[in-house]
Chain A
Amino acid sequence: MLKLNLLQPAVAHLRDKLGLSPEEEEVALYGLKVIVYSTANLISVVLIGLLLNCLGPVLAATTAAGTLRLFSGGAHSRSPLICNILGMLVAGGLGKFSSLLAPRFSAPSLLFLVLLGGALAFLPFFFLAPVDSPNKPLTLEERKKMRRLSLLLFFIIISFQLGLLTLKGPPSWVLAISLGVWWQAFSLTRAGHGLATAIDKFFSLNEREVLRG
């Protein structure tokens, strides 16, 4: 992967001007990465939503998967660029798929889909969450807390979907939220980890090809 890293020089500038210690520099770099990667991800998702003319469903799927991910964790990609591309493809795909498919569903069949899909997605959340990253290992206490929070959020999201269905909200949003939840449940599984590894490998192979010329 070609690297254009502007974050390190920006933090180095801050370190030089403020006389930061190495620990403070690391903290500032981590803070900057959290802000920049999250903002870049959100912007790319909004752009793909606008491009595919389905911003609402795209944001619904991203919000459902993203908020669940905060507590349940999941498979991780090695590079922020791969993560961004994957986020764009998945959010765009889920959003477009739900905006095309949802009008074909009647309210009862959508309700059935939400409940059945929710019951199936509950299993990975119950048995596997939280799945931490080697870059941010969790303590036992944190694991218990995150598990509780991810299950609570899971039920809040399903309740929100049921509320949307009752109030005759946009069916594409309801389906997009379900797809986001299923995608996040998938990322908790071994298959999700396998996919993340395969995508990482695919990009690093291409990198070698490019470098060889």
Chain B
Amino acid sequence: MKRLVYRLLPAIFSFLALAAAIGVKPTCVFAWHQPEVPRALRK
């Protein structure tokens, strides 16, 4: 179980990084609250 969790964590991080990369493309997210874009994703 522990091994499975440790294998899953990098996949979760990759998924979150992908979501961040996609989420930073449009003008803002479709809701009325825009989270602050991290410096690493700003051009």
Contacts and interface: CB of A to CB of B under 8 A. Distances in A.
A and B pair up: yes
Interface of A: 14, 17-18, 20, 23-24, 26-35, 37-38, 41, 65-67, 69-80, 82-84, 86-87, 130-133, 135-136, 138-139, 142, 146, 150, 187, 196
Interface in B6-41: 6, 9-10, 12-13, 15-24, 26-41
B3 interface: no
A30 B20 contact: yes
A78 B10 CA distance: 31
A14 B37 CA distance: 19
Nearest to A69: B30
Q: Is the interface of A mostly helix, strand, loop or mixed?
A: helix
Contact of B31 (A38, A67, A72, A136): A38
Interface residues of B, number: 32
Given A17-B9, A18-B9, A76-B32, A31 B16 contact: yes
Nearest to A132: B27
Interface centre among A28, A76, A150 (most CB of B within 10 A): A28
A41 B30 contact: yes
Contact of B28 (A14, A32, A76): A76
B40 A27 contact: yes
Given A23-B38, A71-B26, A87 B13 contact: no
23 contacts: A17-B6, A18-B10, A23-B38, A28-B16, A30-B20, A30-B37, A30-B38, A30-B41, A31-B16, A32-B19, A33-B35, A35-B19, A38-B31, A70-B26, A70-B29, A71-B27, A72-B27, A73-B28, A83-B31, A135-B37, A136-B27, A138-B27, A146-B27
Given A27-B40, A31-B18, A38 B35 contact: no
Central interface residue in B6, B16, B22, by most chain A CB within 10 Å? B16
Nearest to B19: A31
Given A23-B39, A30-B41, A41 B31 contact: yes
> 3 tightest A-B contacts by CB?
A31-B20, A31-B16, A66-B30
A17 B5 CA distance: 10
